[in-house]
A = this chain, B = another copy of it.
């Protein structure tokens, strides 16, 4: 049975989590506004997802990122203009197009990923292994909930 003090402690933890996550979101936007020349956080995220999925349609991206299809359409057009993606007609449905990172896109993804990895590496350098693991699993758990 929860005691009043235990409830209060939970409340405080939750407020803290809320505050810190907001800070994370805010910082992510201001720091990574330009993640690479000509590549914003949004386009990078889309490109990365295309890589993870091994190519998918614009509608899938829109659904996954809760964006309007017009927004995705424009972002993909931008990536296309930069030569970072390739579009092929979906053989199963001639309306759709399968979008995949081009060779240049994959190269750029690898570069950015490496650069970000190094940044995280130095930032988390003095964290013990098991704390890292636990932090990762907490975040995954938090995100998994819807």
Contacts and interface: CB of A to CB of B under 8 A. Distances in A.
Interface residues of A, number: 48
A117 to B, nearest CB: 7
Q: How many copies does the complex hold?
A: 2
Given A21-B139, A23-B143, A25-B25, A13 B132 contact: yes
Nearest to A14: B120
Contacts of A145: 123
Interface of A: 6, 9-11, 13-18, 20-30, 41, 45, 65-67, 116-117, 120-121, 123-124, 127, 129, 131-136, 138-143, 145-146
8 contacts: A9-B129, A14-B120, A18-B117, A20-B139, A21-B139, A25-B25, A30-B67, A123-B146
